Amino acid sequence: MTIKEIFETMDYGPAPESSAEALAWLANHGGIAGHYINGKWDALRDDFASNNPATGEKLAGVTKGTIDEIDTAVAAARKAQPAWAKSGHKRARVLYAIARLMQKHSRLLAVMETLDNGKPIRESRDIDVPLAIRHFYHHAGFAQLMKAELPDRDPLGVCGQIIPWNFPLLMLAWKIAPALAMGNTVVLKPAEYTPLTAMVFADLCTQAGVPPGVVNIVTGDGETGAALVNADVDKIAFTGSTEVGRNIRKATAGSGKALSLELGGKSPYIVFEDADIDSAIEGLVDAIWFNQGQVCCAGSRLLVQEGIADRFYAKLKARMDGLRIGDPLDKCIDIGAIVDPVQHAQISKMVSTNTEGETYQTSAPEGCFYPPTLITGLAPASTLMQEEIFGPVLVATTFRTPAEAVQIANNTRYGLAASVWSENINLALDIAPKLAAGIVWVNGTNMMDAAAGFGGVRESGFGREGGWEGLAGYTKPKNTAKPLKKIDAFTTEDGHPANPLDRTAKLYIGGKQARPDGGYSNPVFSPRGKLLGHASIANRKDIRNAVEACNAAKGWSKTTGHLRAQILYYIAENLSARADEFANRINHMTGGRSGADEVETSIRTLFTYAAWADKYDGHVHGVPIRGVALAMKEPVGNIGILCDDAAPLAGLINAMAPAIAMGNCVILAASEPFPLAATDFYQVLETSDVPAGVVNIITGTHTELAPTLAKHLDIDAVWSFSSSELSGTIEQESAGNLKRTWVNNGTAMTPSTTDYLAASTEIKNIWIPYGE
């Protein structure tokens, strides 16, 4: 037999990892996964079982947390938080100690993760545990640097965190490390299927000297998670399904709680005809069959350029045939067990009921194992191309041109991640910014690091985890929020006849003045009862028209910062030429004498954001690969804004200027009691070369306009500085497409320039490897 024949016929022998130490650890802790509250184990009840997915055997009992137990954990966290927040250096030492202990016990963590989740030990040992450790090391540095680098930020307080079962330890690290680094305390609920590594972590917290109450872990199911969402916490950080994320958005609406959601995905894996096919196939194995495909950012939609599709599919099927599926504790295994029979049944149902395309499957052992599956020939609108399967199932279609590839890739309600494979770096870097995704990997996949933010857009959620951008979600500005009182319009008429010349202002939509759809208007009086004019009352159809105008102006986001800066300067110049007119208008409406100051402030604001238009740069993250991760700051899209009632002109410009400087299109609901400064501003816009549809201004009642703005599926974000109490309504209605919201929660907001710029942008991390 030749050497070649030996290599072709040789099979892998078993290389089992012992589970004895992990099982002994469970036995020593009573065989129960229960609560860790205020630095102690508590309430160890066998309410339901945590089973080994590969064998079905019971690993431990799990305590189902009650509302009272959640409240106890939150109270412990609340008590511990002020002292924990005092010293960044002390926090850094504790986070460093956690990282060192995790290294020391890395094999125990890896084995426990595989027993509980079913993923191959090779993945737990070589990917999950090292990356979890990396997060604690990295965020120890952030704790040390917070006082110097984030002097204007404070911790939020107590953070409620809910993590999924696909990466139990890694998701725990992603949530806990940044929260603790910024001076928060946490109450974390692991997934009901996979609580065991969280128990080991809790034990390590005690050894690391984490003060009691700083880290609290409560186990349970969905009801326990709901109790944590409704508890007295300052933030909810959730990773899981889009459906549950939408429910959490509704449940927290109007509560004032900060919220970050990392949800589902249907990520495109785009292979161009000039790609290194063998490398792309190896990357695809990692993209879809890593962790049995139970990955939110899995490259589950394969898009192959038509000219290489047949060859690519043939090579891919041959590679699938070589994948080893079986005992997850065997170091030679590529694919382990599905986490639970319920999830296995869901995957099976979605595949078996599909009647489109051609299905190719390998084999799998009996039990909770599912074979690697490829379904080709699907249309972009096919159910399996649109719905998240969350299993080892790859669906595929073809494309002809780069433009078609982008169109198909973006044809989804999700926007978490994407992979682009091409040996032409110009092509790859042309495609990456066009993809609706929070992360784009060039000639790679599933690359993640604590230094680079992770998170999505659209219905993949909002917020980032990791990097400088991830810290924002665990901090708040250093200022005291003052209660906001509703500002009402003046309504008493003085009895004098109205000016015979009509002063009914229209709306400003699509670059021109437009009559309101409803045909109604409101009178605007001075404090002394003089009729100053009428302002149109916008309705949902006017908002629809404004959104269509925004969509027609999408080219604005592709213009240069230099061009946007010139237009902002031009607006300021034209406003300055009419400063006295605007100052008098403001004084007549409000009865004050600060009109001139407000106009001057508005001009300064326009200059400020003109200056930032070409200077609010992204970052180049130093990630541990031969390459870089580019954190690109991109516009959010269409932003609906309810302007500050108290400042008729400055309130409008404070919101408009940063948004359009960053390339967004806006729909501005002008000050409700004092709208005429905004309607006069139409003429400034018309003479300042602002492209049609970039700025749209409507007038009317904020309480009637807010729900329509928040519900509209083509609006990507809603801000509210209104004196009307609208925060709960906006957050509740925003759940439809999980749009971003920035609301005042009934307080007088004083955002900084950086706050406005951050709200006007999304971070897209583009990972670019280099070298042969």
Q: Which of 262, 465, 731, 762 does the annotation list as catalytic?
A: 262
The residue with tokens 């992360």 is 439
Measured distance CA(438)–CA(418) in Å, rounded: 8
Structure tokens at 247: 């429910």
Q: What's at 393, amino acid-wise?
A: V
Helices (H), 253-396: 277-289, 309-321, 341-352, 383-386
Cα separations (Å) of 207 from 35, 113, 137, 198, 487?
17, 20, 17, 14, 55
Does the active-site annotation cover 262? yes
Torsion angle (degrees, nearest 10) of CA 139, 141, 142, 145: 170
Does the active-site annotation cover 465? no
Residues 6+ apart with CB under 8 A from 316: 281, 284, 374
The closest alpha carbon to 207, from 306, 94, 295, belongs to 94
Max Cα–Cα distance, the chain, nearest Å: 111
How many CB atoms within 10 Å of residue 210?
A: 23
Q: Which of 17, 159, 205, 296 does the annotation list as catalytic?
A: 296
Per-residue b/e over 624-643, b at no fewer than 16 CB within 10 Å?
A: eeebbbbbbbbbbbbbbbbb
Crossing angle, helix 168-181 and helix 88-104, to 10 degrees? 160
The length of the chain, given as a count of residues: 772
The residue with tokens 């659209």 is 458
How many CB atoms within 10 Å of residue 246?
A: 19
Burial class (CB in 10 A: 0-12, 13-18, 19+), 349: exposed
The closest alpha carbon to 742, from 297, 256, 285, 284, belongs to 256
Residues 613 and 561: beta-carbon distance below 8 Å? yes
The closest alpha carbon to 540, from 706, 728, 721, belongs to 706
User: Facing residues of 216 across strands?
Assistant: 187
Active site (catalytic) residues: 262, 296
